[in-house]
Amino acid sequence: MSNAFTVHLVTWCDGEPLLRAIREKVFIQEQQVPVELEWDGLDAGCEHVLALAASGNAIGCGRITPDGHIGRIAVLPEWRRQQVGSSILELLVDYARGRHYPKVELNAQVQAMPLYEKAGFHAEGEVFLDANIPHRKMLLLLKDRSPSSQ
Ligand SMILES: CC(C)(COP(=O)(O)OP(=O)(O)OC[C@H]1O[C@@H](n2cnc3c(N)ncnc32)[C@H](O)[C@@H]1OP(=O)(O)O)[C@@H](O)C(=O)NCCC(=O)NCCS
């Protein structure tokens, strides 16, 4: 199997069926996240990232809210530990930088924290439960690289 993949920014309007299929498999079926928590009504207002295999199959996703909260990063099990999650995260952070967001935040599942630490995020506060899964708030400050800020 080729492990080539690409990552793309998509709107909910354009990507909904593929984004839904990944989140159903990973969050609802694998991690037993309750349906009503997964579909929280924020998706239409978010920017999304979709990862596609060379075959065209959707293999991963993520989203960012208009106020800079990254979330719903998921990669299908057979594609994990091949940098798909990091590539999704990188594109979401690039999107936030492009929009001059001062920071991005997320609630990381504790088991996934190394993914975010590698991208420069740092943890804040105590561990808490969301959908019965331990989480910790993480934050990345973004420097504005526009000429006017130098
Ligand atoms: C977490 C998840 C998105 C990571 O995706 P991925 O494509 O496997 O991540 P990457 O291959 O880009 O990993 C990059 C680095 O993050 C760290 N990392 C990723 N998954 C990890 C895990 N399960 N445990 C510990 N470290 C992990 C590693 O340092 C890894 O680098 P390495 O493989 O060179 O050691 C994926 O495992 C997943 O979908 N899990 C289920 C859903 C979930 O937990 N989502 C996160 C919600 S906060």
Q: Is the pLDDT of residue 145 over 70?
A: no
What residue spans define the domains of the chain? 5-149
Residue 147: per-residue pLDDT: 56
Nearest to 96 by CA among 129, 49, 133: 49
Segment 113-123 shows an average pLDDT of: 98
3 pLDDT band, cuts 50/70/90, is confident
Q: Is the pLDDT of residue 119 over 70?
A: yes
- Ligand 1 centroid to residue 150 C-alpha, Å: 35
- Ligand 1 centroid to residue 81 C-alpha, Å: 6
Fold of 5-149: Aminopeptidase (3.40.630)
Nearest to 115 by CA among 145, 96, 89: 89
Q: Which residues line ligand 1 (CB under 6 A)?
A: 26, 73-75, 80-86, 108-109, 111-112, 114-115, 118
How confident is the model over 31-71, as pLDDT tens digits?
Answer: 999 999 999 999 999 999 999 999 999 999 999 999 999 99
**Nearest atom, ligand 1, residue 80 CA:** 8
Residue whose structure tokens are 């994990």: 80
Question: Residue 21: which H helix or E strand, with range?
Answer: helix 12-23
**Nearest atom, ligand 1, residue 79 CA:** 7
- Ligand 1 centroid to residue 149 C-alpha, Å: 34
